[in-house]
Structure 1
Amino acid sequence: MKIDVNSDMGEGFGVYQLCDDDAMMNIVSSANIACGFHAGDPAIMTNMVRLAKARGVGIGGHPGFPDRQGFGRREIPFSDDEICQLVAYQVGALMGIAAAEGGRVAHVSFHAALGNVINRDEALALRVMSCLARLDRSFIIFCQSDTIIERAAIAAGLRSLTLFLADRAYQANGQLVPRGKPGAVINDEATLRARVRQFLQTSSVTTYEGENLPLRARSILVHSDTPGSVELATIIRSEIEASGNSVAPASDVLAQ
C-alpha cells in the first residue's frame, strides 16, 4: 500500500529558517509550503518548489492567517469573503511560482488557526472549497477524517486525503490535545514508532486518555516546528517501509 508522508515546510522568513527543509525534502513525499502570510516569502517559496520538483515531492500550498508574530496560531476576525480572498491570494501566489519553475500545486493543507476557523463553519468551508475548485479542480485537500473540511471538499468536487498527525496527541473525541498541555506534542522516538506501527497495523491510535481511537488516513503529517522534526520524519518513513508499504505523493496514493 502507498502512504504519503507530508510536512509543513518553508516556514521561515528571509535568513531565518525553522527547520532543515533541504533534509526534510529527502524524506517526505508531499511538501506543504508556507505561502507568505504566517511564514515564507517569494525566495523561500521558490526554493521549496525547486527542491520538491527535483526530488519528486508533491507541491502543496499551506495558507494561514497573516500573523508572523503568532506563527498563524491566533484567530483573526476576518469575514467569510475575506478568508476566501486570503486563501486564493496565497495559493495563487504559490501556483504562479510553481508554474514559473515548471511545476504545479497539487494539494492544499490549511495552517493552524485558519484551518480551525474553516473547520468550524460548514458554510465557510464550502465557500473556501468552491473558491479552490475554481482555481484548480484537481486540487487534493489535506484534512483529518470526518471533518467539516473533508465534507466541504467532497461537496465542491475536490478530492481529499485524510491525515494522521503522528507528532500530536489525540483526545478521545478525535480532536488534538491543545499544544499547551503536557504531552500534546510527541517527539520521543519510542513513542512515535509505537504510534506509527499501531496506525499501520490497526488503523488506530491510543488517545491521551488511553482509549483506542479508529483512524481513517492515508497520509502521515509531521510538523516542521516539532523539535527534531527531521529525525521524526525519518522514523515515520522507516516504519512505513519496514511494514512493507511504500511512501508516495498524494496523487499517487489516491490513484491506487
Structure 2
Amino acid sequence: MTHIDLNSDLGESFGTWRLGDDAAMLDVVTSANVACGFHAGDPRTLLETCARAVAAGVVIGAQVGYRDLPGFGRRFIDYAHADLVADVLYQLGALDGLARVAGGAIRYVKPHGALYNTIVHHEEQAAAVVEAVGRYDPALPVLGLPGSVFLRLAEKAGLRTVSEAFVDRGYTPAGTLVPRGEPGALLQDPAEVAERMVRLVERGEIVAVDGTVVPVRADSLCVHGDSPGAIAMAEAVRGALVRAGVTLAPFAGAEE
C-alpha cells in the first residue's frame, strides 16, 4: 500500500468543557470524524470544528452515535429500527448543514463508540445505519471495522465501504478491539503505535494482546482525539508512514 488515510474523532467538546486539541490534530490528520451532537459536541463547537477542517483542507465525516451525552455514546441502547434510522438521519442533516455553512460538506459517515462496536455483529442496528445513509445520500462512503456486519450490509446496499484500523487501541486475536477497561485496550506509546501502523500498512497485520499476529486490512487509520498524548501519537504515526514512503491522503473527496 502506497497511501493511507489518517482520521481522528473531533468536535467532542461541549460548552465550556473541552476535550482534546482539535486545532492541533487538524494539522496532522487527513480526515475528521466530527461529532453530530448526540454523543458529544454542541452546535457552536461543531460549526467551528467544520470551519477549521475546511481551512486546513481536511475532509469532514459525520460521526453518528447513540443519543447519550452523559455516557459519551459508549453505552449500548436497544433502539427500535425506525428510531435509529431517524436518529442517524437527524445527525447527518444537522452536521451537513453546519459543514455547508462553513464552506464544506460531509463526505463520509463513521459510527461512534458503542454504536460502532454494536454494529460489528448486530444485524438490526447495522441495517438501520445503512438504511439511514442510503436514504440521506447513497454516494457517502461508510467507515467501519473490517469484517463487520455493518460493512457487509453496506456493501450489499451499494454503499462504498472503507475499512479502518485503530492507532491507539489493542486488538483481540479475532481482530476486534479489546473492550475499554480491559488490560491492553488503550495504547499510549507514540513509538510503539507508529511501528504497529507501519507494519499494518506494509504487511497487513497487527499483533494482538495475546501476542498472535492478526491479519488486518485498512484504508484508514484512526487516532482518538481524547486519548492521552493523542497529538504526539498522531504525529509519530504520520512521520513514520512518510519515512516509509507512504502518502497520507483522504479516502473521500476533498472539501471544495
Distance 1:252 1:212, change over 3 A: farther
Q: Which runs of 5+ in 1 are unaligned?
A: none
Equivalent residue for 2:83?
A: 82
Equivalent residue for 2:20?
A: 19
Q: Name the SS of the counterpart of 2:238 in structure 1.
A: helix
1:108 Cα offset (Å): 0.7
Equivalent residue for 2:63?
A: 62
Equivalent residue for 2:155?
A: 154
Q: Indicate whether 1:216 and 2:217 are aligned.
A: yes
Equivalent residue for 2:47?
A: 46
1:153 Cα offset (Å): 1.2
- Matched AA of 2:181: G
Native 8 Å contact 1:126 1:155 kept in 2:
no
1:30 Cα offset (Å): 0.4
Q: Indicate whether 1:8 and 2:9 are aligned.
A: yes
Number of residue pairs aligned between Structure 1 and Structure 2: 253
Native 8 Å contact 1:140 1:158 kept in 2:
yes
1:252 Cα offset (Å): 5.7
Equivalent residue for 1:73?
A: 74
How high is the TM-score relative to the length of structure 1? 0.95
Equivalent residue for 1:106?
A: 107
Equivalent residue for 1:115?
A: 116
1:79-105 deviation line (CA, Å, top 9, x unaligned) = 111111111111110011112222110
Identity of aligned residues (%): 39
- Matched AA of 1:102: G
1:36 Cα offset (Å): 0.5
Equivalent residue for 2:185?
A: 184
- Matched AA of 2:21: D
Partners of 2:139 and 2:100 in 1: CA distance: 15
1:16 Cα offset (Å): 1.5
1:69 Cα offset (Å): 1.6
Q: Which runs of 5+ in 2 are unaligned?
A: none
Q: Indicate whether 1:164 and 2:161 are aligned.
A: no
1:194 Cα offset (Å): 2.0
Q: Name the SS of the counterpart of 1:250 in structure 2.
A: coil
- Matched AA of 1:31: A
1:127 Cα offset (Å): 3.2
Q: Indicate whether 1:37 and 2:38 are aligned.
A: yes
Q: Which runs of 4+ in 1 moved over 3 A?
A: none
Native 8 Å contact 1:108 1:140 kept in 2:
yes
